[in-house]
Amino acid sequence: MILHYKRAIQDILDHKFLNAVTIITIAISILIVSAFALFFVNASDIISSWQKGVRIMAYLRPNIPHADIGALKLKIQDFYGVQNVKFISKEEGLQMLKDQMKRQPSLFVDLKENPLPDAFAIRMIPTSKNREKIEGLTTRLEALPEINDVEYGHRWLARFTNIFNLFKLTGFALGGLFSVAAVFIVANTIRLVLYTRREELEIMRLVGAADSFIKAPFYIEGIIQGALGGTIGLAVLFVTFLIVSSNVQQSFALDFFTVRFLSIKVYGTIIFCSTCVGWLGCYLSLKQFLKS
Amino acid sequence: MILHYKRAIQDILDHKFLNAVTIITIAISILIVSAFALFFVNASDIISSWQKGVRIMAYLRPNIPHADIGALKLKIQDFYGVQNVKFISKEEGLQMLKDQMKRQPSLFVDLKENPLPDAFAIRMIPTSKNREKIEGLTTRLEALPEINDVEYGHRWLARFTNIFNLFKLTGFALGGLFSVAAVFIVANTIRLVLYTRREELEIMRLVGAADSFIKAPFYIEGIIQGALGGTIGLAVLFVTFLIVSSNVQQSFALDFFTVRFLSIKVYGTIIFCSTCVGWLGCYLSLKQFLKS
Amino acid sequence: MIDTQSKNSIIQIFRVYKKYGGKHALTDVTLDIPKNDSLLISGPSGAGKTTLLKLLYLAEKVSAGQVLVDGMNLARISRKRIPFLRRKLGIIFQDYKLIPTKTVFDNVAIVLEAMGTKRRLIQKKVKSVLRTVGMEERINSFPPILSGGEQQRVAVARAVVGDPIIILADEPTGSLDSDSANIIIELLKKFHTRGTTLVIATHDKELLNKIGGRIVHLKQGCLQPSA
Amino acid sequence: MIDTQSKNSIIQIFRVYKKYGGKHALTDVTLDIPKNDSLLISGPSGAGKTTLLKLLYLAEKVSAGQVLVDGMNLARISRKRIPFLRRKLGIIFQDYKLIPTKTVFDNVAIVLEAMGTKRRLIQKKVKSVLRTVGMEERINSFPPILSGGEQQRVAVARAVVGDPIIILADEPTGSLDSDSANIIIELLKKFHTRGTTLVIATHDKELLNKIGGRIVHLKQGCLQPSA
Ligand SMILES: Nc1ncnc2c1ncn2[C@@H]1O[C@H](COP(=O)(O)OP(=O)(O)OP(=O)(O)O)[C@@H](O)[C@H]1O
Ligand SMILES: Nc1ncnc2c1ncn2[C@@H]1O[C@H](COP(=O)(O)OP(=O)(O)OP(=O)(O)O)[C@@H](O)[C@H]1O
Ligand SMILES: [Mg+2]
Ligand SMILES: [Mg+2]
């Protein structure tokens, strides 16, 4: 094993150009995939922060005793998909409406008594935010005897949720596509490198080297290349990210959300995957060039 | 020239593997870049369609003679950044409000007379939709003696516009990054291919071939590879797009916007760029391997 | 059947044909090489000498016929056992087949590494064999900068470093002046006296005369009746 | 200065040194080769024969000294003119240097293509020269599947196809049996009688005797006083 390890190191030194090409290719591929992941994660964050605005208003029948409201709240809290429930009394409701329509104060001048009902503002857990789930919950709420009427945001918010899901879906699809493309490109490059060295492989076989003996240093090299390429790709991304994000956050004054880098876990996963790709690329290419 | 062309074709046939690798690499690179472009164009479309919702309401003082309204409308129409102006009489306004608030009909029961003013709904041209431009227009509108009050959408819409611009910016940045990465990968691959063939280049030089004679078929090959790779990449994207988009449009019932493919112009540009990249990759690599 | 012909045979070639596409490279070749034999295969360019050797180390498969090497039937040998066969052979290739990106030392050492020889022993053995062929000064050079003759001597060193039981030499002195050639010839002879079987393909009359041994003639793939 | 030595010289080598890194490959070599001379360079392995030829076709540059070929001072020749120099030379490389991915025909034809010869003439000339060296049957084969001798004959064909004014031959018959070698020798002689200058590096005594001409000896990079 130590022998193979030494041979791998020697081999990398003997083929600096080929190794550099492979590592650069892996680094660029990782850069592409992780740049997109970063973009996607942050875009999702932003959209999620909007989506938090989606809430269901459940208006109560008049004259529900104050004592029952606590129990009702707990009941709704237990419904599937509910994240939290907030009671909004009719007085609070009117104040909010007035704030909202402060451009038309004349509308409220003639009001003798508060025409609004008490209400619950219900936030749903993010994963349940699609039109079907919202409508399901709405139906359950409407079935409650205490509830008079249910309203869920504006129509565009429901549509927006769909589009968000579409965005997510295409994002994942695109991420998948990019990953596959990266794997292809890396495998292609490794194949090309081994093609360049096929004579050498052939000579080793002719002088009696077993396949495992020939392959061992290549595998080690593949792993080193993958890990190194992945690390370099992420490092480049991180530096670019630092430079860009500080500029962006300044010029857009986006105080309400912070651009975040990939988590350590994702970071680790990417390097692990890139290592696997390096190994796999070697495996498949070696198989081809040692076949006959 | 015909000779070089023939030699290029012969050369492609002699090096099927190497050419396949190059073409596949170019195709994948183009696929990545154009898939992202496609995603970005459509995402921009969707967001734009929301952004169209941003409009400025300018409420008129009471008792402006009907005759003056036409002139005022034309005046506003000429303001910088205005796309179109629509007059909304107070009756229409009330009806819209009632529709909007049909859950709280009690609010309107006590109304004796229409408390709302006449108004103009002003849409801005898309490029002017940032907070500064909107506020500039607002100020100019408020300066008009006939205008009582100006309201522009909700606060989040202004913020939304900023985020949209940020999205656009990062999109372009990412697109740029991907393009550069693609160029690098392609150049890398071509270098590798020529490295594989450096002995051949050297032999040709030794038997008296001029550099231009050696290079000519490689250039032609580079151009063919670039064009072919670009076309294949876009074709794969197009087929994927057709399959995915029909599914998406069905399952999301996105009747309000149509997913669109890249325009012929963009299509052409991409293939042109990919051809240039093929050529450039050859140029730079040949320079390196024919140096000494 | 062929096994019984001679218990002492280390290589048996029986009615072997070799076709490359449409081209007949070997036609009905039968040869029996006893242990510790010294067999010289002569013949003009393109006669099939290299092809015959290739069949012995399984770089090519026979189109028809049987080949046995040290008791192994090469038609039935599994892929995994091929390295095992080749480690018994010391092969001097006509085109040397040195690895251009490895030093002379590594080129020779790889044979021993593949056999699992200890690191320290490898150092000693490789240096000693390179000294024998007169290449100890170029131990850290890379093959492409060596002269033709120097490359050939490295190729010889690699072939013999593993103490093979059979040496297959394809034109082992083709690029060498007679002094250097004599050194190689002496080396091969030394192995022969130690019990190694020699199979040498050549058209060099000097080599044929000097090395001694049985001579067979190939012509257009056919073994000529020995004159 | 060297120009005046002899108006008839086509190659003049004057006090040439060649060092590879620390290694002296050629030391103070002076040679004057008249037009239509036949010069044979002999010497042991690693003496510097190939190096000397490399200096003539500018694959290597001298470390010191001067080389003139057909009136061109190789130290001052511009990069662009090198192909022009090489087209005057027909070079048989010791390691053949055939392009493995091109057919025998294309390998030979490339010399003429590079010179801008008409397509139809190329066909005729290449076929004729391949016939001369006995390789017309392998015209569509790729070099790697050819036998050593066959490759060498293709290399000879490529060297002479462009009707060079000087032929630089490095071990042109090393892989050939004597019959095939004779064909090559006859071919070279024919060019010589037509006025071509021959410079041949070899350690093959048979070749030295058969081809005739002036013989110089190289030893460790030094020209030996002719015996
Ligand atoms: N892989 C192959 N495909 C097709 N033909 C081949 C292949 N290998 C060898 N040949 C042909 O088979 C014939 C015998 O080749 P071989 O290499 O055995 O000759 P040889 O006796 O070694 O000649 P030389 O003395 O020139 O080396 C030659 O004509 C050669 O062109
Ligand atoms: N590029 C190089 N770098 C370093 N040393 C070199 C280089 N090329 C040749 N040499 C060395 O220079 C010496 C002369 O080499 P050259 O090839 O000229 O020998 P030669 O006379 O042709 O020998 P042979 O008969 O074996 O072909 C050799 O020792 C060789 O190793
Ligand atoms: Mg042979
Ligand atoms: Mg030489």
D156 compared with B90, residue with greater pLDDT: D156
Å from C210 to nearest chain D CA?
15
What percent of chain A has a predicted confidence (pLDDT) above 70? 83
Structure tokens at B269: 């540009």
pLDDT at C1 over 50: no
Determine contact: D137 vs chain C, CB below 8 A: no
User: What percent of chain D stands above pLDDT 90?
Assistant: 84
To the nearest whole number, what is the mean pLDDT of chain A? Answer: 81
More reliable by pLDDT, A101 or B121: B121
Single pTM value for the model: 0.83
Q: Which of B46, B47, B50 is CA-nearest to residue B153?
A: B50
B 201-230 → D contacts, CB under 8 A: 203-211, 213
Return the ligand number nearest the Cα of D173: 1
What φ, ψ does residue C37 adopt, rounded to 5°?
-80, 160
C→A interface, C-beta within 8 Å: 57, 59, 80, 82-84, 86-87, 89, 91, 93, 97-102, 106, 110-111, 113-115, 119, 158, 162
- The ipTM (two decimal places) reads 0.86
B-chain residues within 8 Å CB-CB of D113? 3, 7, 209, 213
φ, ψ for residue C24, nearest 5 deg = -85, 115
Residues A252, C163: Cα–Cα separation, whole Å:
76
Instruction: Identify the residues whose C-beta falls under 6 Å from ligand 1.
Output: C 20-21, 23, 25, 43, 45-51, 94, 203; D 145-150, 175
In ligand 1, which atom is closest to the CA atom of D149? 26
**What is the rounded CA–CA span in Å between residue A219 and residue A222?**
5
Q: What is the CA radius of gyration of chain C?
A: 17
Supply the mean pLDDT for chain B.
81
Q: Distance, in angstroms, between A11 CA and closest chain C CA? A: 9
Distance CA D207, CA D204 (A): 5
* CA gap D167, D169 in Å, rounded: 6
Cα of D42 from ligand 3 centre, angstroms: 24
- Alpha carbon nearest to ligand 1 atom 31, residue: D146
pLDDT at B104: 62
For ligand 2, pick from C103, C142, C147 the residue to mutate: most ligand atoms within 8 Å of CB: C147
Please report the pLDDT score of residue D215 as a whole number.
Answer: 94
C-beta atoms of B178 and A32 within 8 A? yes
Is the CB of residue C170 below 6 angstroms from any atom belonging to ligand 2?
no
Give me the percent of chain B exceeding a pLDDT of 70. Answer: 83
Q: Which atom of ligand 1 is nearest to the CA of C26?
A: 14
pLDDT (0 to 100) of residue D130: 96
pLDDT at D4: 46
Of all ligands present, the nearest one to the C-alpha of D48 is 2
Indicate whether A257 pLDDT > 60: no
pLDDT recorded at residue C112: 95
Chain A residues whose CB is inside 8 A of the C119 CB are 3
Is the beta carbon of C150 within 6 A of some atom in ligand 2? yes
Query: How far, in Å, CA of D201 to CA of D172, rounded?
Result: 8
Using H for helix, E for strand and C for coil, what is the string for chain B?
A: CHHHHHHHHHHHHHCHHHHHHHHHHHHHHHHHHHHHHHHHHHHHHHHHHHHCCCEEEEEECCCCCHHHHHHHHHHHHCCCCEEEEEEECHHHHHHHHHHHCCCCCHHHHCCCCCCCCCEEEEEECHHHCCHHHHHHHHHHHHHCCCEEEEEECCHHHHHHHHHHHHHHHHHHHHHHHHHHHHHHHHHHHHHHHHHHCHHHHHHHHHCCCCHHHHHHHHHHHHHHHHHHHHHHHHHHHHHHHHHHHHHHHHHHCCCCCCCCCCCHHHHHHHHHHHHHHHHHHHHHHHHHHCCC
**Percent share of chain C, pLDDT over 70:** 96
The average confidence (pLDDT) of chain C is 92
The number of C-alpha atoms within 13 Å of C147 and in the hemisphere containing its C-beta is 30
D148 and chain C in contact, CB less than 8 A: yes
pLDDT band at residue A255 using 50, 70 and 90 as cut-offs: very low
pLDDT value at D53 more than 90: yes
To test the contact with chain B by mutation, choose from A16, A154, A177 the residue with the greatest count of B C-beta atoms within 10 A, namely: A177
Each residue's pLDDT tens digit, C135-148: 999 999 999 999 99
Q: What is the pLDDT of residue D7?
A: 62
- SS3 call for C119: helix
Closest CB to B209 among D91, D98, D114: D114
* pLDDT(B256) > 50: no
Whole-number pLDDT of residue B160: 64
Would you state the pLDDT for residue B143? 85
The tokens describing C70, both together, are 């040290």
pLDDT tens column, A173-227: 888 988 898 888 888 888 888 888 889 999 999 999 999 999 999 999 999 999 9
pLDDT given at position A120: 86
What does the pLDDT read at residue B219? 93
What's the CA-to-centroid distance between D95 and ligand 4, angstroms?
9
Average pLDDT over residues D133-161: 95
* Residue ranges in chain A assigned as alpha helix (H): 2-14, 16-51, 66-77, 90-100, 106-109, 131-143, 155-196, 198-206, 211-252, 264-289
Is the pLDDT score of C3 beyond 50? no
Q: Inter-chain contact B169–A31, Cβ cutoff 8 Å?
A: no
CA–CA distance, B17 with A192 (Å, rounded to integer): 9
State the count of interchain CB pairs (< 8 A) between C and D: 71
pLDDT in tens, C12-50: 999 999 999 889 999 999 999 999 999 999 999 999 999
Per-residue confidence at C4, pLDDT binned at 50, 70, 90? very low
Ligand 1 pocket mutation pick from D104, D150, D153 by most atoms within 8 angstroms of CB = D150
Chain C residues within an 8 Å CB radius of D205: 178
CB-based contact, D84 to chain C, within 8 Å: no
The DSSP line for chain D is --TTT-TTEEEEEEEEEEEETTEEEEEEEEEEEETT-EEEEE--TTSSHHHHHHHHTTSS--SEEEEEETTEETTT--GGGHHHHHHHEEEE-TT----TTS-HHHHHHHHHHHHT--HHHHHHHHHHHHHHTT-GGGTTS-GGGS-HHHHHHHHHHHHHHT--SEEEEESTTTT--HHHHHHHHHHHHHHHHTT-EEEEE---HHHHHHH-SEEEEEETTEEEPP-
Mean pLDDT of D48-63: 95
**Are D32 and D9 within 8 A, CB to CB?**
yes
Each domain of chain A, given as residue ranges in start order, spans: 2-50+157-291, 55-151
Q: How high is the pLDDT of residue B251? A: 61
Whole-number Å distance between alpha carbons of C35 and C144: 36
Give residue B101's pLDDT.
Answer: 63
Nearest to C150 among D45, D148, D179 (CB): D45
Inspect the interface and report whether the beta carbons of D150 and C178 lie closer than 8 Å: no
Among the atoms of ligand 2, which is closest to the Cα of residue C149? 26
Read off the tokens for B210. Answer: 């001029």
First-residue to last-residue Cα distance in chain D? 28
Classify B55-151 by CATH class.
alpha beta
The pLDDT of residue A254 is above 80: no
Q: Do B50 and A156 touch (CB under 8 A)?
A: yes
| Nearest CA residue ID for atom 8, ligand 2 | C145
A292 by DSSP, 3-state: which? coil
The residues that bridge with A152 in the sheet, in sequence order, are A56
Beta strands at C214-219 and C38-42: parallel, antiparallel or unpaired: parallel
Q: Measured between beta carbons, which residues in chain B are less than 8 angstroms from residue A17? A: 195
- In ligand 1, the atom with minimum distance to the C-alpha of C60 is 1
- Are D20 and C94 an interchain contact pair (Cβ–Cβ within 8 Å)? no
Domains of chain C with bracketed CATH: 36-50+79-219 (3.40.50.300)
Q: Which residue of B has its CA nearest to D59?
A: B206
Q: Which atom of ligand 1 is nearest to the CA of D151?
A: 26
B50/A154: higher pLDDT: B50
| pLDDT exceeds cutoff 80 at B118 | yes
Question: Nearest by CB to B21, which of A149, A171, A188?
Answer: A188
Task: Give the residue whose CA is nearest to atom 8 of ligand 1.
Answer: D145
Mind giving me the DSSP string for A117-152? PPEEEEEEPGGG-SHHHHHHHHHHHHHSTTEEEEEE
A50 vs B257: which has the higher pLDDT: A50
Model confidence pLDDT, tens digit, residues A88-131 = 888 887 787 777 666 566 666 666 677 777 888 888 776 666 66
Ligand 2 mutation pick, C96, C141, C142, C150, max ligand atoms within 8 A of CB: C150
Cβ–Cβ under 8 Å, residues B81 and B137: yes
Task: Give the model confidence (pLDDT) of C179-199 as tens digits.
Answer: 999 999 999 999 999 999 999
Q: What stretch of H or E contains C110?
A: helix C104-115
Kindly state whether D217 is in contact with chain C, defined as any CB-CB distance less than 8 angstroms.
Answer: no
Whether the CB of C6 sits within 6 Å of ligand 2: no
pLDDT of the residue at A256: 47
* Interchain CB contact of B3 with D (< 8 Å): yes
What would the DSSP string read from start to end of D103-148?
-HHHHHHHHHHHHT--HHHHHHHHHHHHHHTT-GGGTTS-GGGS-H
For residue C146, the ligand 2 atom closest to its alpha carbon is 31
Q: How far is the CA of D94 from the centre of ligand 4 (A)?
A: 6
A44-58, A70-84, B30-44, D151-165: lowest mean pLDDT where?
A44-58
Residue D23 C-alpha to ligand 2 middle, in angstroms? 10
pLDDT mean over B160-173 = 78
Q: What is the pLDDT of residue C2?
A: 47
What the block records as the tokens of C71 is: 């008791």
Q: How far is D156 from chain B (nearest CA, A)?
A: 12
How far, in Å, CA of D109 to CA of D120, rounded? 11
Reported confidence tier of residue A152, pLDDT bands at 50, 70, 90: low
Nearest CA to ligand 2 atom 22: D50
Contacts of C49 in chain D (CB under 8 A): 147
D193 vs D38: CA distance, rounded Å: 10
C-alpha to C-alpha distance for A55 and A69, rounded to whole angstroms: 19
Q: Phi and psi at residue C6, in whole multiples of 5°?
A: -155, 125
Closest ligand to residue C202's CA: 1
Cβ proximity of A32 and A182 under 8 Å? yes
How far B186 CA lies from chain D's nearest CA (Å)? 23
Q: Is the pLDDT of residue B253 over 80?
A: no
Give the separation between CA A164 and CA A162, rounded to whole angstroms: 5
pLDDT of residue B255: 46
Cα-flanking dihedrals φ and ψ of residue D39, to 5°?
A: -110, 130
